[in-house]
């Protein structure tokens, strides 16, 4: 018994020491006194959330339909090129709907070649049907649309995260917003300037390379006049620099891009042979092959336009075939070239975004929340500890020690895992205190009941813990499941509540059952056989 009790006591002390280290780590001097150094050590390990530290909260709507349109635009162009390579030169490929492609206007003798082209594996994401009057109709499958929309949302999250990480902020939360469709929630502690964050996100370029059909024109009116007011559905007019610093010119471009921002594998600022800043880039293998086919087929005669956020940055004559390695020039300053290269390296947004909610929390409000939360937690804990001492007498000291250790273990968990403490997280701490008391009440009342039945103190403690154990585990498991659901579907602050609640419940099982039982065993070992238990 003695060796067993000594082993349990040593284990509890070891857990206590490890958790204290988890909270404080190795304190380092800040030059402002021991108290400030201790505070800094704690906040370095247990990070403060948006509502405590202050910061920016944004909800962004991702227009995923644009990604679907872009995909069908590229498939239209690709299918047109494939049909041309088979000799079906009279085939007409149009977008009848953003999700539907029609192929018509070919000769009956070309039926087999066209059929083979539209049923190829690369168009497996489309349902192919015979169109009225001859031809084919390719409609993107709903499963493919959902998959594309999901990937667009996930790519947008990754791209925005890369942008925000460049600020060097701690623990930004970026993820899907469960309350809206195709929305992203962005929470950045420590920066309470939403305009700055919006500019950073919007600076992410949507860079594309398009085939030039005709131009330049002086303006859109001039273009429409010379084009007889007709612009095919697979083409568009865009403005762009003429390279001389004068007014923008207008070009007619193929709507489907040859290469877009997500195709860039690497980009870095460099200089051309004349020492002028430019951007050297590498494309992915698939994009490189696509780019090579176009530039090889149009070298010497064709032109391509490099667009940035739907504005032509440069129009270049294709002098030779380019595969996966190229340059972007166009009057950049060195800083502009470095910024654009960095943005391309981290990827462009696959679709445009808009803001549905913008909110900032000042650091003063965060400090007030911390003060109010700490006051509530301390007041609640002191009130509970006083009640336990009054109602359960000597056993109340046991419960209070278990509650204190419960809090230390909880904070130690958070320190080791680098968790973020939010205002709802403080509420989770307070709720954990209540759950801890509930567990002790269940055990103590059962011990009292066994004592009233005439059992000895040792037997009553044994039966009390044995019978209360099942109820404690049952209540904790159901609460952990509820907290898990909150963590999966909740946003940042709600996740903070779920995390502290789960950590607290796990700590509570350990303290209410193992620590309290060890304390009772120690007290009983010091009492004479048959002595009363203060409970």
The domain made up of 2-51+363-526 is a member of CATH 3.40.50.150:
no
Does residue 83 surpass a pLDDT of 80?
A: no
SS3 198: helix
The closest of 158, 155, 159, 153 to 65, measured between CA atoms, is 153
Note the maximum CA span of the chain.
109
| Cα 445 to Cα 431: distance, rounded to the nearest angstrom | 21
Least confident of 82-96, 114-128, 211-225, 375-389: 82-96
Query: Across residues 155-178, what is the average pLDDT?
Result: 74
Q: What are the residues facing 103 on neighbouring strands?
A: 93, 136
Segment among 10-14, 313-317, 383-387 with least mean pLDDT: 313-317
Read off the DSSP letter of residue 513. Answer: I
| Helix ranges, 171-315 (H) | 194-202, 220-226, 285-298
Task: Round the average pLDDT of the chain to a whole number and report it.
Answer: 78
CATH topology of domain 65-143: Gyrase A; domain 2 (3.30.1360)
Check if the beta carbon of residue 95 is closer than 8 Å to that of residue 103.
no
Contacts 24+ apart (CB under 8 A), 522-525: 522/5, 522/9, 523/394, 523/398, 524/457, 524/458, 524/461, 525/1, 525/2, 525/5
Q: Average of pLDDT values for 492-497?
A: 74
Q: Is 464 left (phi over 0), alpha (psi -120 to 50) or beta?
A: alpha
The answer to whether residue 440 scores a pLDDT higher than 50 is: yes
The backbone region for 245, taken as left when phi is positive above 0, alpha when psi lies in -120 to 50, beta otherwise, is left
pLDDT of the residue at 105: 75
The yes-or-no answer to whether 2-51+363-526 and 65-143 have a common fold is no
pLDDT at 349: 73
Round to whole Å and give the CA distance between 105 and 407: 76
Predicted pLDDT of residue 1: 47
Altogether, the residues listed in the chain come to a count of 535
Determine the 3-state secondary structure of 411 from DSSP.
helix
Using omega within 30 degrees of 0 as the cis cutoff, is the peptide bond preceding 137 cis?
no
Nearest-angstrom CA–CA distance, 15 and 397: 20
Q: pLDDT tens digits for 131-147?
A: 777 788 888 888 888 88
What's the pLDDT tens digit per position in 20-41? 888 877 766 555 555 566 666 6
pLDDT in tens, 267-287: 777 777 777 787 777 777 778
Does the pLDDT value for residue 204 go beyond 80? no
**Other CB atoms within 10 Å distance of the CB of residue 505:** 23
Average pLDDT over residues 455-484: 85
Query: Within 13 Å, how many C-alpha atoms sit on residue 246's CB side?
Result: 6
**What are the residue ranges spanned by the domains of the chain?**
2-51+363-526, 65-143, 207-345
Pick the CATH number of 207-345 from 3.10.129.10, 3.40.50.300, 1.10.260.40, 3.30.1360.200: 3.30.1360.200
Query: DSSP letter at 91?
Result: -
Closest CA to 237 of 270, 259, 212: 212
The answer to whether 185 and 177 are in contact (CB under 8 A) is yes
- pLDDT given at position 175: 80
Strand order, beta sheet including 126-130: 92-97, 100-104, 136-140, 126-130
Strand 47-48 with 420-421, pairing: parallel
């Amino acid at each position: 018994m003695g060796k067993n009790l000594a082993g349990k006591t040593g284990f509890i002390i070891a857990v206590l020491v490890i958790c204290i280290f988890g909270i404080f780590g190795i304190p380092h001097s800040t030059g402002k006194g021991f108290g400030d150094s201790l505070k800094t050590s704690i906040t370095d390990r247990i990070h403060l959330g948006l509502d405590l530290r202050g910061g920016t909260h944004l909800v962004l709507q991702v227009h995923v339909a644009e990604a679907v349109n872009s995909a069908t635009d590229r498939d239209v162009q690709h299918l047109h090129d494939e049909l041309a390579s088979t000799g079906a030169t009279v085939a007409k490929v149009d977008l009848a709907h953003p999700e539907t492609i029609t192929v018509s206007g070919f000769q009956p003798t070309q039926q087999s070649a066209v059929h083979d082209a539209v049923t190829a594996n690369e168009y497996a994401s489309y349902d192919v049907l015979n169109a009225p009057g001859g031809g084919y109709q390719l409609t993107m499958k709903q499963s493919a649309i959902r998959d594309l929309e999901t990937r667009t949302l996930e790519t947008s999250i990754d791209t925005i995260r890369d942008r925000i990480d460049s600020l060097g902020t701690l623990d930004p939360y970026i993820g899907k917003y469960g309350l809206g469709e195709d929305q992203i929630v962005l929470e950045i502690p420590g920066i309470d300037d939403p305009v700055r964050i919006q500019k950073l996100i919007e600076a992410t370029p949507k860079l594309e390379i398009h085939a030039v059909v005709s131009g330049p024109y002086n303006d859109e009116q001039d273009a429409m006049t010379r084009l007889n007011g007709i612009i095919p559905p697979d083409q568009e007019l865009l403005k762009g620099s003429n390279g001389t610093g004068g007014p923008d010119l207008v070009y007619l471009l193929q709507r489907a891009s040859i290469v877009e921002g997500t195709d860039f594998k690497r980009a870095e600022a460099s200089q051309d042979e004349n020492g002028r800043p430019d951007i050297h880039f590498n494309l992915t293998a698939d994009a490189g092959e696509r780019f090579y086919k176009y530039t090889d087929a149009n070298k010497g005669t064709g032109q391509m336009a490099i667009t940035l956020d739907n504005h032509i940055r440069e129009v270049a004559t294709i002098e030779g075939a380019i595969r996966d390695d190229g340059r972007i020039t166009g009057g950049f300053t060195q800083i502009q070239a470095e910024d654009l290269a960095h943005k391309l390296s981290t990827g462009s947004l696959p679709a445009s975004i808009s803001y549905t909610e913008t909110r900032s929390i000042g650091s003063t409000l965060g400090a007030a929340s911390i003060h109010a939360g700490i006051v509530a937690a301390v007041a609640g804990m002191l009130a509970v500890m006083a009640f336990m001492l009054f109602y359960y007498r000597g056993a109340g000291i046991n419960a209070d020690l278990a509650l204190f250790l419960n809090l230390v273990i909880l904070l130690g968990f958070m320190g080791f895992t680098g968790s973020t403490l939010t205002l709802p997280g403080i509420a989770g701490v307070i709720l954990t205190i209540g759950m801890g008391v509930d567990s002790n009440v269940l055990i103590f009342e059962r011990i009292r009941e066994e004592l009233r039945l005439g059992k000895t103190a040792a037997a009553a403690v044994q039966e009390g813990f044995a019978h209360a154990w099942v109820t404690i585990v049952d209540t904790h498991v159901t609460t952990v499941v509820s907290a898990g659901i909150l963590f999966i579907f909740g946003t940042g602050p709600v996740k903070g509540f779920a995390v502290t609640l789960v950590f607290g419940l796990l700590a509570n099982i350990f303290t209410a059952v193992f620590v309290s039982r060890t304390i009772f065993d120690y007290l009983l070992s010091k009492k004479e056989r048959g002595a009363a238990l203060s409970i």
